Structure 1
Amino acid sequence: MTVHVACLCAAWCRTCESYRQVFEAACAELPQDDLRVRWIDIEDESELIGELDIETFPTLLIADAAQIRFAGPLTPQPETLRRVLRAHLTDATPARVAPEYAALAERLRAAG
C-alpha cells in the first residue's frame, strides 16, 4: 500500500528553509517501497493545498490509500520527525482530521 508523506511549508519561513534537509534526510532513512515523499510549498502549490489553512510550520501529512494516519504541525527537531514517521508508518490507525486534510490527501493520491 502506498503511503504519502508530505511536509507543508513556505519559502519565506526560515524554519522551513533549514527543516527541508532534516525532512529529506529522515525520509531517506525509511524503506522506500511504496513511499511517496513530497515537500510542498503552500504558496507555490496553493491549488494542491486547496482550502487547508496552514498556520504552523512545519506541518506533516501521512496518508495511505484508505485514510490519513497523521496530520498536524511538528516541532522542527529531527528526532520528533523520526518518531512521528516511525509511529505512523507502522500504525495504520486513522487520525481524526479536518476535512481539508482529507481533501489534500485525496489530491496527493490522485497525483501518484
Structure 2
Amino acid sequence: MHSLTLESDTRDDITAAVDSGRWIVACLCAAWCGTCGSYRAAFDALAARHPDKTFVWIDVEDQADVVGDLDVDNFPTLLVQRDDTVAFFGTMLPDAAVADRLLQAQAELAPEELARLAGSNEERRGWQRDCNLRALLRNAA
C-alpha cells in the first residue's frame, strides 16, 4: 500500500477515506523541497506498515485551494486525524521511525482521551479549528 496523492482526480477518493472514520496521516510538502522528495519513499513505507490508516501526500502549492490557509512552517509537516479530531499537526523530522512512534501512540489512545487532548490547550484547539482535513476538503469543493 502506498500513500495517495491529493490531486483533482483523487480528491473524491481521499474525501471518502477521510469520511470513513479511519486514521488519516497527511504529509504536507512541496515539489521543490529536496527533503520532501527524499521523504516520500519513507512515507510510502510507513503507509505499507499501517494498512489500517489512510496516508495522503499533499503538495501545498498544487493544492493551495485545500490547504492554503494552514500555517506550514517547515517541511515535512504531518497532519494526523481521526474523524473530526486532529491528533497532531506540525513539522516532523524526515524520519519514518519518528512518525511511526507518533502514529502508534495516537492510535493507542481511547476516543475519549483523544477528544480530551484535542481541547487541552490553545495550540490543539487551533488544530481542531484550522487543520481539519475533512473540513478543508469540503470547503475547497
Q: Please tell me the TM-score bracket, short chain as reference.
A: 0.7 to 0.9
Distance 1:110 1:60 in 2: 20
Question: Cα 1:5–1:109, aligned 2, differ >3 Å: closer, same or farther?
Answer: farther
Give the Å deviation of 1:105.
Answer: 4.2
Write the deviation string for residues 17-57 of structure 1: whole angstroms up to 9, x where unpaired. Answer: 0001101101210132xx32100000011111031121211
Please tell me whether residue 49 in structure 1 is matched to residue 46 in structure 2: no
Which of 54, 59, 66 pairs up with 2:84? 66
Please tell me whether residue 107 in structure 1 is matched to residue 136 in structure 2: yes
Q: How many pairs align?
A: 108
Contact 1:9 1:41 in 2 (8 A): yes
| TM-score of the two chains, using structure 1 as the length reference | 0.83
Contact 2:66 2:139 in 1 (8 A): no
Give the Å deviation of 1:97.
Answer: 4.7
Structure ranking higher in helix proportion: 2
1:1-112 paired onto structure 2 within 5 Å: 1-32=21-52, 35-91=53-109, 92=111, 93=114, 94-95=117-118, 96-98=124-126, 99-102=129-132, 104-108=133-137
| TM-score of the two chains, using structure 2 as the length reference | 0.67
Contact 2:47 2:55 in 1 (8 A): yes
Indicate the RMSD between aligned Cα atoms, in angstroms. Answer: 2.1
5+ residue gaps in structure 2?
A: 1-20, 119-123
Give the Å deviation of 1:109.
Answer: 7.5
Give the Å deviation of 1:61.
Answer: 0.6
